[in-house]
């Protein structure tokens, strides 16, 4: 359901995608990331909630696209941890999973900012926890329904607030695209849990989101640079060092472990994302400490500063 919903909304999400760069691809990136998770589950044997969520998270991490896609993938993988061994979802488990997700997502980004998907995720976790804390550990379906309602309602309020939290959004009179995308995904989860249709009025009144609103991303100044993403196996110490170096070379650095299982040398697979002026400088730093796989390089504007394909 989330895959189809994001496909339906991708054009509008792209149109308001102006932060951290106006590259008009947040809708597409979230859709592609969720599609990777959905395809992994299509081939999975029936299993408990934690195993299912972990498989979806790993697939999403390996195929994550862009800032929003990467942060969502990190969140999805983190949600699996409190759900390990659970045969069904409950209110306490959902609240715990959302709390774990928001902690992991905030820590994955070197310079987290309010007014983004992160704020919406944090609000969803807080909303779920607020409801769950009044239920005295109730694991009934009714308690679960009330918990997801609290999460979605709080997330919706947080989306509205994004416009006032970031100057670039306030000036353009739009809400954050990644935040809206996450809200849509949460409403899909609510729909499945409650057995109800998606909420038709969920996005009503969001600044810049009406069909007739202009494509604000197309009117923003072009920004030079590229987005580099890859998977690399490193020790935690080496990963921390690379993260710091990439922070000096560029911005929007996201780094999170794909798996909690280390190899025989104590190294973990990490998914890495960074915006840099030149792909070459990032790849040189990455290759100096390890052998990257699943590398992707995308221009942040239509005018790429170099032939990125020659660097792969």
Let me know: does 60 contact 51? Beta carbons within 8 Å: no
User: With b meaning 16 or more CB within 10 Å and e meaning fewer, what string describes 53-85?
Assistant: bbbbbbbbbbbbbbbbbbbbbbbbbbbbbbbee
The per-residue pLDDT for range 13-39, each reduced to its tens digit, is: 999 999 988 888 899 999 999 999 999
Helix axes 49-63, 66-79, angle to 10 degrees: 160
pTM metric for this prediction: 0.90
The model's confidence at residue 70, banded by pLDDT at 50, 70 and 90, is: very high
Chain centroid to Cα 275, Å, comes to: 16
DSSP-derived 3-state class of residue 143: helix
Distance from C-alpha of 32 to C-alpha of 27, rounded to nearest angstrom:
9
- Sequence-ordered list of residues with C-beta below 8 angstroms from that of 173, at least 6 positions apart, any chain: 163, 207, 208
Q: Among residues 56, 38, 33, which one has the least CA distance to residue 254?
A: 33
Q: How far apart are CA 277 and CA 112, in angstroms?
A: 20
* Phi, psi of 222, rounded to the nearest 5 degrees: -70, 145
What sign has the CA pseudo-torsion 135, 56, 184, 299? positive
Instruction: Return d(Cα 143, Cα 136) in angstroms, integer.
Output: 10
Query: Residue 153 is inside which H or E element, if any?
Result: helix 141-165
Distance CA 183, CA 192 (A): 14
| pLDDT, tens only, 200-235 | 999 999 999 998 888 888 788 777 899 999 999 999
Strand-pair partners of 257: 270
**pLDDT for residue 304:** 44
Q: Which of 94-98, 137-141, 257-261 has the lowest mean pLDDT?
A: 257-261
């Amino acid at each position: 359901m989330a895959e189809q919903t994001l496909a339906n909304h991708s054009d509008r999400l792209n149109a308001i995608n102006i932060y951290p760069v106006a590259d008009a691809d947040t809708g597409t990136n979230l859709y592609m990331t969720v599609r990777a998770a959905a395809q992994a589950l299509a081939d999975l044997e029936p299993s408990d909630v934690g195993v299912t969520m972990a498989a979806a998270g790993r697939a999403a991490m390996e195929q994550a696209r862009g800032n929003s896609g990467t942060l969502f993938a990190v969140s999805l993988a983190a949600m699996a941890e409190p759900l390990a061994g659970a045969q069904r979802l409950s209110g306490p488990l959902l609240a715990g999973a959302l709390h774990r997700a928001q902690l992991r997502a905030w820590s994955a980004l070197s310079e987290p900012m309010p007014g983004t998907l992160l704020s919406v995720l944090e609000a969803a976790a807080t909303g779920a926890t607020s409801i769950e804390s009044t239920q005295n550990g109730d694991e009934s379906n009714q308690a679960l329904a009330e918990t997801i309602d609290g999460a979605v309602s709080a997330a919706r309020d947080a989306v509205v607030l994004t416009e006032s939290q970031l100057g670039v959004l306030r000036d353009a009179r739009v809400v954050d695209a990644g935040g809206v995308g996450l809200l849509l995904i949460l409403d899909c989860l609510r729909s499945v849990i409650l057995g109800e249709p998606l909420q038709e009025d969920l996005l009503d009144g969001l600044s810049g989101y009406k069909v007739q609103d202009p494509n604000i991303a197309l009117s923003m100044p072009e920004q030079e640079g590229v987005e580099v993403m890859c998977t690399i196996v490193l020790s935690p110490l080496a990963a921390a060092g690379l993260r710091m170096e990439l922070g000096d070379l560029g911005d929007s650095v996201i780094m999170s472990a794909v798996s909690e299982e280390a190899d025989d040398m104590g190294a973990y697979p990490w998914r890495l994302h960074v915006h840099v002026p030149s792909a070459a400088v990032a790849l040189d730093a990455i290759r100096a400490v390890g052998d990257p796989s699943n590398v992707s390089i995308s221009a942040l504007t239509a005018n790429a500063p170099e032939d990125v394909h020659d660097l792969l």
